[in-house]
């Protein structure tokens, strides 16, 4: 038996500022036709969902209407930025409580034939914020007790760019401290797969013995030269097939009618990314 998982990411929707809502509606119309077994969302549901507004609810309505089992991990625009990243709207216990109340658990374990998927809230990894100690223990137990299943770790930000021992601090990747906390919890257990979103690019790379696949955004890319190219700057989603023998396939899907928004041409959304200079968007 194989399970089809549609993996979407980075919707960035809002009822008041609906720059990317049409893309979400187009994507979900497509998914209603595709009928995946499970919908996986790697975060940034809201445009500013970390603030107290209707952004998270706006995205959730579409998920519920789809009528398939959904698994979601929060993004920095859902619970706030990791405390290691200065200057941004940071995660706090109030934002975490709101996310958990509106969206649901920010840690989960999903068993499929041959596979165990574990979703974590990497925006609090390695912090004293509410829930991380339990998540680290939950991840450790889930990895240890998976009884021969292949392990997939699901989080919002890529665990690393190219190396786990990279000490550079960048808002694009899990901070060195967050990465260490996650790897410590995994201990000797190496995930076959690490699935994420956040950079708004598609990438498929091998790091530390795991295959790391970044989902493309549903909302926008940041065009050249404003953001470096790590992979492909595409708008779409991923189709995963998880097989009972522990193997897996993934492919990038594009959707007719999705608008290829470029944040560099939309300063009214998050400010003028071109003002930060090439490579800094």
Tell me the closest approach of the beta carbon of residue 112 to Fe ion, in angstroms: 26
74 touches Fe ion by CB under 5 A: no
76 touches Fe ion by CB under 5 A: yes
* Residue linked to tokens 């699935």: 195
Specify the residue, 244 or 259, whose C-beta has the smaller distance to Fe ion: 259
* Residue linked to tokens 């953001």: 227
Specify the residue, 76 or 175, whose C-beta has the smaller distance to Fe ion: 76
Are 45 and 8 in contact, with CB atoms under 8 Å apart?
A: no
Using CB under 5 A as the criterion, what x/- string covers residues 219-258 for binding Fe ion? Answer: ----------------------------------------
- Judged by DSSP in three states, 64 sits in helix
Contacts with 178 (C-beta within 8 Å, 6 or more apart), sequence order: 82, 84, 122, 125, 126, 157
**Among positions 7, 198, 212, 240, the unique one binding Fe ion when judged by CB under 5 A:** 198
Specify the residue, 7 or 149, whose C-beta has the smaller distance to Fe ion: 7
Neighbours of 214 (CB within 10 A): 25
Residues in the chain: 281
Specify the residue, 116 or 198, whose C-beta has the smaller distance to Fe ion: 198
Specify the residue, 179 or 198, whose C-beta has the smaller distance to Fe ion: 198
Tell me the closest approach of the beta carbon of residue 119 to Fe ion, in angstroms: 15
Cα within 13 Å of Cα(230), Cβ side: 25
82 touches Fe ion by CB under 5 A: no
Stretch touching Fe ion by CB under 5 A, among 23-31, 118-126, 194-202, 227-235: 194-202
Q: Say how far residue 49 (Cα) sits from the centre of its chain.
A: 14
Are 160 and 48 in contact, with CB atoms under 8 Å apart?
A: no
DSSP 259: -
Using CB under 5 A as the criterion, what x/- string covers residues 11-50 for binding Fe ion? Answer: ---------------------------------x------
Q: Nearest CA to 56 among 37, 72, 34?
A: 72
10 touches Fe ion by CB under 5 A: yes
Q: Six-digit token pair at 6?
A: 């549609």
**Among positions 49, 75, 80, 176, the unique one binding Fe ion when judged by CB under 5 A:** 75
Footprint of Fe ion on this chain (CB under 5 A)? 10, 44, 75-76, 198
């Amino acid at each position: 038996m194989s399970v089809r998982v549609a993996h979407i990411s980075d919707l960035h929707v809002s009822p008041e500022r609906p720059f990317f809502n049409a893309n979400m509606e187009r994507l979900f119309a497509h998914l209603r036709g595709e009928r995946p077994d499970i919908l996986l969302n790697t975060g940034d549901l809201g445009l500013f969902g970390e603030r107290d507004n209707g952004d998270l609810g706006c995205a959730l309505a579409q998920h519920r209407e789809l009528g398939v089992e959904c698994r979601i991990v929060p993004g920095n625009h859902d619970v706030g930025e990791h405390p290691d990243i200065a200057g941004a709207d940071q995660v706090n216990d109030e934002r975490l409580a709101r996310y958990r109340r509106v969206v649901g658990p920010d840690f989960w374990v999903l068993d499929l034939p041959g596979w165990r998927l574990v979703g974590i809230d990497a925006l609090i990894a390695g912090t004293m914020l509410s829930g991380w100690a339990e998540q680290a223990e939950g991840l450790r137990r889930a990895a240890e007790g998976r009884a021969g299943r292949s392990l997939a770790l699901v989080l919002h930000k890529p665990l690393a760019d190219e190396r786990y021992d990279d000490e550079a601090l960048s808002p694009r990747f899990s901070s060195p401290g967050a990465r260490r906390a996650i790897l410590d919890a995994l201990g000797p257990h190496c995930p076959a797969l690490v699935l994420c979103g956040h950079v708004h690019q598609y990438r498929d790379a091998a790091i530390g013995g795991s295959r790391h696949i970044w989902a493309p955004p549903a909302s926008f890319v940041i065009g050249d030269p404003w953001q470096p190219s790590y992979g492909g700057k595409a708008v779409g989603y991923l189709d995963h097939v998880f097989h009972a023998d522990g193997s897996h396939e993934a492919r990038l899907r594009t959707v007719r009618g999705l608008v290829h928004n470029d944040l560099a041409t939309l300063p009214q959304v998050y400010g003028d990314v071109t003002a930060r200079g090439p490579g800094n968007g």
